[in-house]
Amino acid sequence: MALSVQQRGRIFLVVAVCLLALGICAPFSNHDWQRTVQIAVGVCAVIYGLSVSSGVCTTPLVDRPTTIGLAVIILWGLLSSSLAHQPVWALTELALFITCGAIAFAFALLRRNGGESVDQALILCVILLCLIKSIQYLHAGVLAFTSGESVLNTDLLLSGFSNKRFYGQFQTFTLPLLALPLLLPTSKRTVRGLVFALLCVWWLIAIAGGTRGTWLGMGVAGLFLVFLGPSGRRWLGWQLAALLCGLVLYWLLFMVLAGYLGLELAQAASDRLTTSLSGRGLIWWQAWDMIRERPWLGFGPMHFADIANDIAAHPHQAILQWACEWGVPSALCVVVLATRAGWATLGVLRERVLSMAAVDLLRLCLFAALVGAMTQAMVDGVIVMPNSQLWLALVVGWLMALHVWKAPSSASRPLLRWAWTATSILAVGVLIFVAIRDVPHLGERQRHYVGSSKVFLQPRFWTQGVIALEKQ
């Protein structure tokens, strides 16, 4: 018997949530594992998209200008990839961009067909993921305090990510969403108390992790929301209260208790209170030099990693990265599309500024998550890391489904739908090919790279992301 659209949606939701959990909560989780999980979610998204008939999608999820913009970006990426030094890696990055789009569209279709029950399931997923990570962190803290060691390294309390900055990126997406139950007028007092306690611990981890991009992203998100009516100010109030509690917890644990036990603190949060660029200045200049040399088509997607340096395989700045790899016109197109989408969402928020409906409060939290992540992308690799790309696609797709069109959207265009479906299938196929080709040899590649007098790995597509090594 054929499954209904709702049943297919539930299957996709369960599988996607399980993969999201495996991506960050598994004890063996790392960058390469999260990339594999991302590809698996992409496969599921394309299959789910294929299973939803064109008759169900009576209206498009994006308007004509957005469709044209996406087509221009993809075609420009194809042209840039064809002229790149390593076309296969360039096409891999292009395929990754398209797959992220397929994931966003799949979550948008899921929410459109499933309604508010999907919102509840996804928010519950966010709460459970943050709860699991908080328990892992507190458990690691208990072991560290009772280990008998004289030095307590706070970085070692973080697990599931190859770098604490990647952990911070995940927190930038989830900190705003955790506040939703605190805003809902229907939430029971007990639920609010438990969620607030979790939010306090989540802020404790964000403080102890020392990811300045997360602090910056949340600060900018707060500046936006303070002008978005009573709900926005309540969101900011809850975040500030949880931040204060997190600071108190940090002081009690890592200052008072650690001092009482005679433990020396390594990687303290106070050490991160600097204006240092942490080496970003050099890679930003490298990206700028690449833009000046090839402004129109760039060096090719992923090709910042084809010019080896001692710092990173990406410039830690989204606009510079896109411009130096895909070309300035493509970067301008991306900026215009992102600005236009953000402005449209902001318009809906301002129109419903006094609404206390669950969907409007959710839109507010999602907008804060998106603003925070995009702010962090200006100083960090949010658009590079697999888990961050996955959550960015989820948040964008969620907002797409919740968008309120001011004018009736045009009729669905079957030809464009099938063109997008074919493109998504090809993109996922490329990623599967790359995974089958590379996964059995990832350990060998890493050992070879580190053994070549390199002191640390530089993540990009894989943990060892410097593709320039392949031409040596």
Mean pLDDT (the chain, rounded): 91
Looking at the chain, the whole-number percentage of residues with pLDDT higher than 70 is 95
Report pTM: 0.95
Largest Cα–Cα separation, the chain: 69
For residue 140, being part of any structural domain is answered with: yes
Q: For 210-232, what is the mean pLDDT?
A: 94
For residue 463, being part of any structural domain is answered with: no
What local confidence, expressed as pLDDT, does residue 409 receive?
Answer: 57
For residue 426, being part of any structural domain is answered with: yes
Query: Exposed, middle or buried, 185 (CB in 10 Å: 0-12/13-18/19+)?
Result: exposed
> Where do runs of H (alpha helix) occur along 85-188?
87-114, 116-145, 164-178, 180-183
472 neighbors 308 (Cβ within 8 angstroms): no
Two tokens, residue 42: 């992409």
For residue 470, being part of any structural domain is answered with: no
For the cut 80, the answer to whether the pLDDT of residue 407 exceeds it is: no
What local confidence, expressed as pLDDT, does residue 262 receive?
Answer: 86
Nearest to 59 by CA among 313, 340, 403: 403
Q: For 215-235, what is the mean pLDDT?
A: 96
For residue 271, being part of any structural domain is answered with: yes
Q: For 337-365, what is the mean pLDDT?
A: 94
Task: Find all residues with CB under 8 Å of 348, minimum gap 6, and list them.
Answer: 363, 403, 404
Q: DSSP letters along 216-272, please?
A: HHHHHHHHHHTTSHHHHHHHHHHHHHHHHHHHHHHHIIIIIIHHHTTPEEES-GGGG
**Boundaries of domain holding 262:** 5-453
442 neighbors 464 (Cβ within 8 angstroms): yes
Place 1 in a pLDDT band, splitting at 50, 70 and 90.
low
Distance, in Å, from the CA atom of 234 to the CA atom of 429, rounded to the nearest integer, reads 45
Nearest to 365 by CA among 186, 128, 183: 183
For the cut 70, the answer to whether the pLDDT of residue 54 exceeds it is: no
Question: What is the phi-psi region of residue 229: left when phi exceeds 0, alpha when psi lies from -120 to 50, beta otherwise?
Answer: left
Decide: helix, strand or coil at residue 386. helix
Decide: helix, strand or coil at residue 153. strand
What does the pLDDT look like over 420-430, one tens digit per residue?
A: 999 999 999 99
- The count of domains in the chain is 1
What local confidence, expressed as pLDDT, does residue 149 receive?
Answer: 84
For residue 460, being part of any structural domain is answered with: no
Place 469 in a pLDDT band, splitting at 50, 70 and 90.
low
What does the pLDDT look like over 317-350, one tens digit per residue?
A: 999 999 999 999 999 999 999 999 999 999 999 9
For residue 468, being part of any structural domain is answered with: no
What local confidence, expressed as pLDDT, does residue 408 receive?
Answer: 60
What does the pLDDT look like over 281-309, one tens digit per residue?
A: 999 999 999 999 999 999 999 999 999 88
For residue 467, being part of any structural domain is answered with: no
